[in-house]
Chain A
Amino acid sequence: MKLNTVGKNIIRVDSYSKVTGKALYPQDIYLENMLYAKTLRSESPHAYIEVDTTEAEKVDGVVKIFTHKDVPYNHHGVVLHDHNVFCDKKVRSIGDPIAFIVGESEEACIRSMKAIKVNYAEIPGVFDPVEAMKEDSPKVHDDKSNIIYHYKLRKGNVEEAFKNCAVIVENTYSTHMQEHAFLQPEAGLSYVDEDGTIVVVVATQYPHYDREIIARALNLKDEQVRIINTNIGGAFGAREDITMQIHLALASKTLNRPVKVIYNREESFLAHSKRHPMIMKYKTGADKDGYLMAMEAEIIGDSGAYCSWAINVLRKAGVHSTGPYVIPNVKVDSYAVYTNNPFTGAMRGFGATQVPNAAEQQMDILAEKLGISPIEIRRRNIFRVGSKTATGQVLLEGVPLDRCLETIAEKYEEFLELKEFGNLKAEEESI
């Protein structure tokens, strides 16, 4: 196929505005008669709350303090609607939004925010997903089980297969929470158009979703809300869940004036999701020639206080837990679990980033036990065209993993030489 444009290194169409500083992000936009806002957030990971805004409302320059009482439908969430727009009776994690203070200046909002009295009646929290799975653990959402989701993958018969393995490796791995740390902290503005449309100017991954969620929370039709997506200073999954969008729309709709909010870096850390920490218990077996025979895995993902994408993330972790290898017998159980930790959600790789830290180390351990190289054990097991995954999917085409592997394999000797050279030098120096 002769292609004219696809395959060419065309200069990014947005790069001129970005190298000149002309590209606008929400924080760069200033509107006339604009109000500012600040978000009061929970300082407790698990508590019943009582909020008193009486004194805070008297602060000079404050226009209105919004709380759960002002929101027609006080729920949102990408899969389950388990987030409150503003917490009403209970906070479930540090950083949960409680109130939105709107005023003539940022300083006035900060003064007012400090004057809001929140009475926290602490509830025992649960911070370890394994603990949270136990029946007698503190429950994060009313009396609901903390186990949000259980994905099961069953193929062949692992018990029988392990009996016939020449080598078996068992290990438990764990990964931690990761922050997206995009460079542009969340910011947004909202105003009401001449025709009554509520316009929300924001940096988001999915503007149509934002529109729908705002409309639902405020009891509006989708068409009454318009999202203008500015330049976006990185996302990596953290701009999928709603942060300030409903707050802003509610404020501009109620006050009929433009409202702007900018999160600082600390608030950005608090406001959006994180990468799921996972505990990954693996048992992998191969025959004497290094062909994988069976794999069993239990994966527990910490969803924090809210579900966000936990169901999809733990499902994806389960599907990808085998690594890109043909394994005839597979048993996987993955769980998404509520805790009182910061909530976790979408982040680059979405559950498939955690599991290879276990699966790929298992491969190397097996290879070492069998006396074959890390390259060779992979060569014997990788997906190729026509391979079947553990879920029974036939990989009909587009499986150039062999080419990826051979590309790095060509350099393997060179890398080993550099390693030996460095180690020899270090030894000489140490003598």
Chain B
Amino acid sequence: MFIQLVINGINYKVDIDPNMRLIDLLRDKLGLVGTKEGCGEGECGACTVIMDGESVNSCMVMAFQADGSNITTIEGLEENGELHPIQKAYMEEGSVQCGFCIPGMIMSTKALLDKHPNPNREEIREGISGNLCRCTGYNKAINAAERAIEILKEGAKNEA
């Protein structure tokens, strides 16, 4: 069956199997391998993408359910070759270790900041609580979210 959707600003019309999951479409069919599979049961969040403004586990969404949707993956965060402030902050704050959970963690952070531009530390903790990480103990990811908020505010000020 054919579905039509927008991924990272690009229109796709793709032929899918009815039993294909969104993560399989992204990885196997479209080569967007930045989205990771850590558990296949919606527990670890490594496969988090943003679908119509909401963060979803792409292993728990069937590909056909994404028909007509607008999806952002980790590959879609850079703009004009510039890293997104969250990506920059993750680098600067030393939030990355093995890296496998990081795309999902960054996507959850983006979904959070898109909705609530000024969360406090506890709200950030809650915002990424669906993303498991075994390396970092999360604290530097929370630092990065705080730093990203600053960068975003500075950016908004400069634009104004």
Contacts and interface: CB of A to CB of B under 8 A. Distances in A.
- Chains A, B in direct contact (C-beta < 8 Å): yes
Given A233-B99, A234-B100, A27 B37 contact: yes
Contacts of B135: 182-183, 234
Nearest to B75: A21
Contacts of A232: 98
A5 interface: no
A240 B36 CA distance: 23
B57 interface: no
A25 B83 contact: no
A189 to B, nearest CB: 13
A11 B91 contact: yes
Interface string B27-44: 110011111111111001
Given A21-B33, A184-B38, A15 B100 contact: no
Interface stretch (B101-109, B112-120, B122-130): B101-109
B103 A21 contact: yes
B96 A184 contact: no
B63 to A, nearest CB: 16
B134 interface: yes
B60 interface: no
Contacts of A181: 134
A231 to B, nearest CB: 6
B99 A231 contact: yes
Contact of B96 (A9, A18, A185): A18
B144 to A, nearest CB: 9
Interface residues of B, number: 39
B94 A9 contact: yes
B145 interface: no
B105 to A, nearest CB: 10
Contacts of A24: 33
B100 A233 contact: yes
B36 A15 contact: no
B92 interface: yes
A22 B36 CA distance: 11
Interface residues on A, range: 20 to 34
B66 interface: no
Interface string A209-230: 0000000000000000000000
Given A181-B134, A182-B134, A236-B134, A21 B35 contact: yes
Contact of A234 (B35, B91, B134): B134
Given A15-B96, A181-B134, A234-B135, A21 B34 contact: yes
A137 B126 CA distance: 50
A265 B98 CA distance: 17
Given A12-B94, A183-B44, A20 B75 contact: yes
Q: Report which residue of A15, A30, A231, A235 has the largest number of chain B beta carbons within 10 angstroms of its beta carbon.
A: A15
Contact of A19 (B32, B73, B91): B91
B34 A183 contact: no
B91 A12 contact: yes
A11 to B, nearest CB: 5
A185 B34 contact: no
B102 A19 contact: yes
Given A19-B83, A21-B73, 18 more contacts: A12-B91, A12-B96, A14-B96, A18-B96, A19-B96, A19-B103, A20-B74, A20-B77, A20-B87, A21-B32, A21-B33, A21-B35, A25-B100, A27-B33, A183-B38, A185-B37, A185-B38, A234-B135
29 contacts: A11-B92, A12-B91, A14-B99, A15-B91, A16-B83, A16-B91, A18-B99, A18-B102, A19-B103, A19-B106, A20-B75, A21-B32, A21-B34, A21-B75, A24-B33, A27-B33, A27-B36, A28-B33, A30-B31, A182-B135, A183-B36, A183-B133, A183-B135, A184-B38, A185-B37, A185-B38, A232-B98, A233-B99, A265-B41
Interface of B: 27-28, 31-41, 44, 46, 73-75, 77-78, 83, 87, 90-92, 94, 96-103, 106, 132-135
